[in-house]
Structure 1
Amino acid sequence: MADENNPCRYELAAHSIRELIEKSPLLTNSQAFASGDSIANRLTPIKRVFSVIAGIQKISEDINLESIAAPVRGLLGELEKFFQWQELNRPARAKMIARHLSELSGAGPAPPVDLFEEEVFGWRAADDYFKKVAHNGVENLDCDEFLRRMSFIENSLLRRLRPRSVEQLGELDALIREAENA
């Protein structure tokens, strides 16, 4: 990213961050996040049917619905498939990310998955953002936003992989003795 002479530096960095996100479950011997089955892929058949409708007649308030009845039925069918997929997969993806973040936290009892709701939302938003940037889907890229989202992912991983140590072990020992004597 430091090479200002490279006009594709953000796209290349976004590809790397996307790979880091996708492969980070391997750190806990879990499977990498699946890629390829995205909203964009699921919207392709809907766009295709809509294009047929738009090609038959200009979309406006005085459109002749009878002339596009069959394609509209096709569009409704594709929309139904999309919403069924979304209903099944979007919550499952959030749970998978929450489980992953919990596993990265290391040994000891795992925190409840619902505690990660805000972080899971940020993780998904960052993942979606870096996928768009990597594939030139962001016009007028905001460098500060890029760095903010990159820092979010980096800090999420660092917090889990390298938790802050207690600076004064004596303080920790005193707290343990206090709890044992209580």
Structure 2
Amino acid sequence: MNDISGPQDVYKCLVEEAPEGWLLGLLAFAVLEEQRIDWMRHVEAKSGVVTTSDQIRTWYEQLPSSALDRARGNAENVLNAYAQEVTRSIDEGYKRAAMDGVVVAEIRSSSRFWPKFLANVAAGLVGTLMFSVLLVLIVLVALRDPSPVAIIKQVQEAQRVK
């Protein structure tokens, strides 16, 4: 037999003396009270008479001790399902925010693509032009043979011609 004779005793067992914590106890208490209300509706539907306080007290007294354990189990299952749903929702929110951030960053960077592209093409052209000028100078120097002996000969020939 149990020492439960009303909702105050159930509340004390499930909430006040619960080692699991008050939230789980409150939810278990709500589960058990919902069962009582369903029982009261069933009795009223069958007999057409509202249950009396003596009948309710008898219902509480006839509760097996496993009813409190089942209520705790149901409450724990509900809290676990809710925690998983909240976790999934938060994860989806972070994923969505990360994806939005990546997409927005790509769109912003793509709007700067053409100016960057044109600047890189211009830099490539300038580099190519500088390389070409340097290459022409090297070719001119190599073909003209500007050795000191050749320069002196050219100067002497220029003076003889005059």
TM-score with structure 2 setting the length: 0.27
Q: Choose 1 or 2 for highest CA Rg.
A: 2
Compare relative contact order (CA 8 Å, sep 6+) and give the higher one, 1 or 2: 1
TM-score with structure 1 setting the length: 0.25
